[in-house]
Amino acid sequence: MTEQDEPSGRLKQELLDLALEAATLAGDFLRDGRPDDLGVAATKTSAIDVVTEMDIAAEKLITGLLSDRRPEDGLLGEEGASVEGTSGVEWVIDPIDGTVNYLYGLPSWAISIAARVNGETLVGVVHVPMRGETFRAVLGEGAFIGDRPTRVRPAAKLGLALVGTGFGYLAERKVQQAEVVRRLIPEVRDIRRGGSAAIDLCDVAAGRLDAYYERGLNPWDYAAGDLIAREAGAVTGGRPGEPLSPALTVAAPPGLFERLQARLNELGAWHD
């Protein structure tokens, strides 16, 4: 059996082990090597959508390890890594999810690494160095924090749900997102904004949030966290009948997911 066919158990374990090694290596580098005078190296969609030199260095560290161990795999990274592989395996990498938190010295940032096989996410690892936690999942094998299995909370009523979200970096998008929150917050227990989509998805998996939604995510933001949330029992998607996408990402336990998704659709959370 080749990697172009149904993935074998041995391949799954190899990809998981490599993702864990890469995430831990990058996490140690980012935690221990953060300079006191860390500054912005570049901007992306706006002046507040930043890249630091540590983002760039961490992505090079991760992609260098992956390419050395599995040179035929593809790479897709937030900071520009783009390699078309020949093995059927593609690595989707966010070297620092929560860059603004990292820039300001806040603890909510993570390394997110997912392995896709023929387009399907097979392995996801989200390493959160400042929490001392590593979330991981393999498709069909459950979700874990370290070696401990984790599950979503039982579905709450919408009015009792603690809901995580995030905001974009374009002013016009934030205006619409703020309007959605203004209308949603009286209908739920409360809203949390942590600053890292990968951590928010994992917090749904760990039962620390009842649900999470956001517009404007990219594959490297959600690839690993999406798998971890689903393997912990969450349902994920975008607008009703659509998969999660940059337009909208929603994650919650069955029962709550459908109610929140429908309400977000009514509120126009999927457009600017």
pTM of the model: 0.94
Beta strands in the chain (DSSP E): 40-43, 50-52, 74-77, 82-83, 89-97, 110-117, 120-128, 133-138, 143-145, 148-149, 162-164, 190-192, 211-214, 235-237, 249-252
- Whether 234 is covered by a domain: the verdict is yes
The answer for residues whose C-beta is within 8 angstroms of residue 68's C-beta and 6 or more apart is: none
Residue 4 domain-assigned (yes or no)? no
CB contact set of 62 (below 8 Å; sequence gap of 6+): 22, 23, 25, 26, 77, 93, 95, 111, 113
Section 16-32 average pLDDT: 98
* pLDDT computed for residue 79 by the predictor: 83
Domain holding 61: CATH number?
Answer: 3.30.540.10
Tokens found for residue 26? 């990058």
pLDDT bin (cut points 50, 70, 90) of residue 5 is low
Query: Per residue in 33-48, pLDDT tens?
Result: 998 888 888 777 777 6
Predicted confidence (pLDDT) per residue in 184-241, tens digit = 999 999 999 999 999 999 999 999 999 999 999 999 999 999 999 999 999 999 999 9
Question: Predicted confidence band at 6 (pLDDT cuts at 50, 70, 90)?
Answer: low
Q: Which of 40-54, 69-83, 210-224, 250-264 has the lowest mean pLDDT?
A: 40-54
Domain that holds residue 214: 158-267
Give the mean model confidence (pLDDT) for residues 106-121: 96
Residues 189 and 234 in one domain: yes
Name the pLDDT band for 260 (thresholds 50, 70, 90). very high
Confidence category of residue 62, pLDDT binned at 50, 70, 90: very high
Asked if pLDDT for residue 270 goes beyond 70, the answer is yes
Among residues 149, 181, 207, the one where a domain terminates is: 149
Please indicate, yes or no, if residue 272 is contained in any of the structural domains: no
CA nearest 212: which of 243, 242, 248? 248
pLDDT at 43: 73
- The pLDDT value recorded for residue 50 is 66
Residue 1: the pLDDT is 36
Same-domain pairing of 135 and 201: no
CB atoms closer than 10 angstroms to residue 73: 23
Domain presence at residue 76? yes
pLDDT at 3 > cutoff 60:
no
pLDDT at 2 > cutoff 60:
no
Report pLDDT for 39: 81
Q: Which of 130, 149, 168 lies at the terminal end of a domain, its last residue?
A: 149
In a domain, 137, yes or no: yes
Give the β-pairing of 211-214 and 162-164: parallel
3-state SS, residue 28: helix
Domain total for the chain? 2
Q: pLDDT exceeding 90 applies to what percent of the chain?
A: 87
**Domain identity same for 58 and 89:** yes
d(CA 267, CA 265): 5
